[in-house]
């Protein structure tokens, strides 16, 4: 099947162009797309914010941000091409009347992409403003940032506000992990390789671990983060999306709804965690001061702007069961936290042990095969296998050792630059492919499951467990696996990155 996408000029409108996300991620990504010649020459990029600045001043600010956050020296030719596409409109996004001024800047005869890099609380106002100005039709696409809402109820309110003006086919809900090369590679690995496709269930897999560790703290976003916490900021979206790609049934095609239908089934099959099982299946933590990469860092409650009594979690570990035929009895262990020793995201699939050991002389118990998918950094795929140590012996036995088959992206694809997730997603919105965006029913199924955990935590009235910055979280997270006679895979602990 050929996906229906098109590379045509559009008006790409960046609401919130002066915000943190736009400055650090979206503008540098647009620059990279321009560099790769992936923005149509007639496309216009319109920044929207409430500052009163001239177009020249705006262009200077965009340049400054791309230089600061782009991670490489600016190529003058690329920059000139991008700068020539820029436009700026000053409006108060809550003021419905101001959208008439905005209307003057767009060409209604072509596709308009509205990227809402703003707090979700004003998504509804923006939609109303665009509607009042009479510029919404079927060719308009709207991009929503995560997390959408605070829980199922508030996410439904926001989704309803947007749905009043846009069909689901026009709504692109971002989860930037779905734009990461290595996350996308999960689909390739599973469905393009029979060696994995045929061994991907409870018959062959013992358990799965998904770790997304960050060494940063909350990076000056206390106001936002304290309302959200690590569960809403990372688990409800990124970790559950990774889980669905690992656990879903084969989609019939790569088109958006085939994939999203299968992901949704997984979210609906997650076993609820409630007051009856929350203690044995969850751990939440909050960092106290410590050292990360040799630098002393403050605790969460000492961060700038902090409320000293906050009980917001900065670390979560979960044991997740999927109640379906494929995954019955195979736990998925998830963990994510701020201020961990390294930034490391990886998926480790532990296969079942061999039913009988022929090599007792060498190994009293044969270790299981492991498939490690390094999402970031040092992107790659690694399989741990048992191998005969070469050599002659008189004992008649074979010496075995554990070896690794390692595919390192940086070595295998030396000449390919790994694109940032936002580059991929911005391109997909511009060409009109929804496959890498989250459908409303997925967001709601994820919230429903996460809300159950929050209810149970709230009922338990227990504060998060403290952990020292620069460690792998509270000891209880080790106990979560130890109870099942398992341990977190920590191959990359201690490596400086
Ligand atoms: N920052 C990040 O790393 C990530 C952010 N996100 C999501 O992206 C979205 C944006 O986040 P972020 O960039 O951090 O937030 P910021 O607060 O930094 O940026 C939001 C921007 O929206 C503008 N804005 C807000 N209200 C109005 C208004 N009434 N009229 C005009 N402009 C307005 C703000 O303008 P002003 O500066 O004038 O107040 C600000 O520039 C959020 O939904 C967030 O959850 C998702 C993943 C990561
Ligand atoms: O969405 C978010 O993601 C980042 C982590 O993203 P990564 O691509 O650097 O792994 C996280 O730091 C931030 O708090 C969260 O909002």
Ligand nearest to the CA of 26: 1
Q: List CB contacts of 331: < 8 A, sequence separation 6 or more.
A: 207, 208, 319, 320, 321, 484
Of 110, 57, 64, 117, nearest to 93 (Cα)?
117
Of 432, 439, 429, 497, nearest to 29 (Cα)?
429
Residue 496's pLDDT is: 41
| CB-ligand 1 contact for 35 (6 Å cutoff) | no
Residue 453's pLDDT is: 98
| CB-ligand 1 contact for 118 (6 Å cutoff) | yes
Is 404 a known ligand-binding residue? no
Is 176 a known ligand-binding residue? yes
Of 293, 381, 384, nearest to 342 (Cα)?
293
**Rounded distance from Cα 211 to ligand 2 centre (Å):** 13
Q: Whose CA is nearest to atom 27 of ligand 1?
A: 93
HSE toward the beta carbon, residue 200, CA cutoff 13 A: 20
Ligand nearest to the CA of 242: 2
Residue 361's pLDDT is: 83
| CB-ligand 2 contact for 420 (6 Å cutoff) | no
pLDDT in tens, 127-167: 999 999 999 999 999 999 998 999 999 999 999 999 999 99
Rounded Cα–Cα distance for residues 9 and 109 (Å): 11
Of 31, 23, 32, 25, nearest to 51 (Cα)?
23
Which CA distances in Å does 435 have to 64, 67, 178, 253, 298? 33, 31, 9, 11, 40
| CB-ligand 1 contact for 21 (6 Å cutoff) | yes
Rounded Cα–Cα distance for residues 430 and 139 (Å): 11
Rounded Cα–Cα distance for residues 14 and 165 (Å): 18
Instruction: Please confirm, yes or no, whether 356 is among the known catalytic residues.
Output: no
Which CA distances in Å does 42 have to 7, 8, 193? 11, 8, 40
Is 233 a known ligand-binding residue? yes
Asked if residues 115 and 13 have their Cβ atoms less than 8 Å apart, the reply is yes
Ligand nearest to the CA of 224: 1
ipTM of the complex model: 0.97
Rounded to 5 degrees, φ, ψ at 167 are -70, 160
**Rounded distance from Cα 18 to ligand 2 centre (Å):** 19
Residue 74's pLDDT is: 95
**Rounded distance from Cα 23 to ligand 2 centre (Å):** 15
Structure tokens at 299: 């605790």
Structure tokens at 350: 């532990």
> What is the best residue among 20, 26, 233, 237 to mutate for testing ligand 2's pocket, by most ligand atoms within 8 Å of CB?
233
Which one of the listed residues 105, 150, 207, 238 is annotated catalytic? 238
pTM value is: 0.95
**Rounded distance from Cα 335 to ligand 2 centre (Å):** 14
**Rounded distance from Cα 223 to ligand 2 centre (Å):** 16
Q: Whose CA is nearest to atom 13 of ligand 2?
A: 233
| CB-ligand 2 contact for 214 (6 Å cutoff) | yes
pLDDT in tens, 292-306: 999 999 999 999 989
Rg (CA), the chain: 24
Asked if residues 127 and 165 have their Cβ atoms less than 8 Å apart, the reply is yes
Q: List CB contacts of 380: < 8 A, sequence separation 6 or more.
A: 182, 374, 406, 407, 408, 409, 410, 412
pLDDT, the chain, mean? 93
Residue 219's pLDDT is: 87
Residue 417's pLDDT is: 86
Q: Whose CA is nearest to atom 3 of ligand 2?
A: 234
Q: What is the pLDDT along the chain (497 residues), one digit of tens a residue?
A: 555 567 789 999 999 999 999 999 999 999 999 999 999 999 999 999 999 999 999 999 999 999 999 999 999 999 999 999 999 999 999 999 999 999 999 998 999 999 999 999 999 999 999 999 999 999 999 999 998 999 999 999 999 999 999 999 999 999 999 999 999 999 999 999 999 988 999 999 999 999 999 999 998 889 899 999 999 999 999 999 999 999 999 999 999 999 999 999 999 999 999 999 999 999 999 999 999 999 999 999 999 989 889 999 999 999 999 999 999 999 999 999 999 999 999 999 999 999 999 988 888 889 999 999 999 888 999 999 999 989 888 887 888 889 999 998 888 888 888 899 999 999 999 999 999 999 999 999 999 999 999 999 999 989 999 999 999 999 999 999 999 999 999 754 444 43
| CB-ligand 1 contact for 50 (6 Å cutoff) | yes
């Amino acid at each position: 099947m050929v996906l229906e996408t098109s590379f045509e000029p559009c008006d790409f409108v960046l609401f919130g162009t002066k915000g943190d996300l736009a400055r650090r991620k979206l503008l540098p990504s647009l620059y990279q797309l321009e560099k790769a010649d992936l923005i149509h020459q007639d496309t216009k990029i319109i920044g929207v914010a409430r500052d009163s600045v001239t177009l020249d001043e705006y262009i200077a600010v965009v340049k400054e941000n791309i230089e600061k956050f782009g991670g490489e020296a600016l190529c003058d030719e690329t920059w000139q091409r991008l700068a020539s596409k820029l436009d700026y409109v000053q409006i108060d996004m809550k003021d419905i009347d101001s959208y008439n001024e905005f209307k003057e800047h767009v060409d209604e005869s072509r596709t308009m992409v509205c990227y809402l890099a703003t707090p979700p609380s004003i998504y509804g106002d923006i939609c109303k403003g665009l509607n009042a100005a009479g510029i919404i039709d079927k060719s308009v696409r709207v991009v929503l940032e995560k997390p959408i809402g605070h829980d199922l109820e508030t996410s439904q309110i926001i989704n309803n506000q947007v749905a009043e003006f846009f069909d689901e086919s026009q709504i692109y809900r971002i989860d930037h992990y779905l734009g990461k090369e290595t996350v996308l590679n999960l689909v390739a690995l599973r469905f393009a390789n029979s060696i994995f496709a045929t061994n991907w269930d409870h018959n062959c897999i013992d358990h799965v671990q998904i770790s997304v560790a960050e060494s940063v703290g909350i990076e000056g976003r206390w106001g936002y983060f304290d309302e959200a916490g690590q569960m809403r900021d990372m688990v409800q979206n990124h970790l559950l999306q990774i889980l669905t790609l690992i656990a879903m049934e084969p989609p019939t095609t790569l088109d958006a709804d085939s994939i999203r239908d299968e992901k949704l089934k997984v979210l609906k099959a997650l076993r609820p965690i409630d007051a009856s099982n929350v203690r044995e299946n969850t751990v939440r933590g909050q960092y106290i001061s410590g050292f990360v990469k040799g630098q002393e860092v403050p605790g969460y409650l000492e961060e700038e702007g902090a409320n000293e009594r906050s009980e917001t979690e900065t670390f979560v570990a979960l044991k997740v069961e999927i109640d379906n035929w494929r995954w019955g009895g195979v736990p998925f262990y998830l963990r994510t936290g701020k201020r961990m020793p390294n930034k490391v995201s990886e998926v480790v699939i532990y296969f079942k042990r061999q039913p009988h050991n022929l090599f007792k002389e060498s190994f009293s118990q044969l270790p299981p095969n492991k498939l490690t998918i390094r999402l970031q950094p040092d992107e790659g795929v690694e399989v741990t296998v048992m191998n005969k140590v070469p050599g002659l012996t008189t004992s008649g036995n074979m010496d075995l050792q554990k070896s690794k088959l390692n595919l390192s992206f940086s070595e295998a694809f030396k000449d390919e630059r790994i694109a940032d997730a936002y580059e991929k997603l911005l391109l997909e919105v511009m060409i009109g492919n929804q496959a890498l965006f989250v459908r409303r029913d997925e967001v709601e199924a994820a919230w429903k499951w996460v809300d159950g955990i929050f209810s149970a935590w709230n009922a338990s009235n227990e504060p998060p467990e403290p952990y020292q910055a620069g460690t792998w979280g509270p000891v209880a997270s080790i106990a979560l696996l130890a109870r099942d006679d398992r341990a977190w895979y920590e191959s990359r602990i201690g490596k400086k990155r």
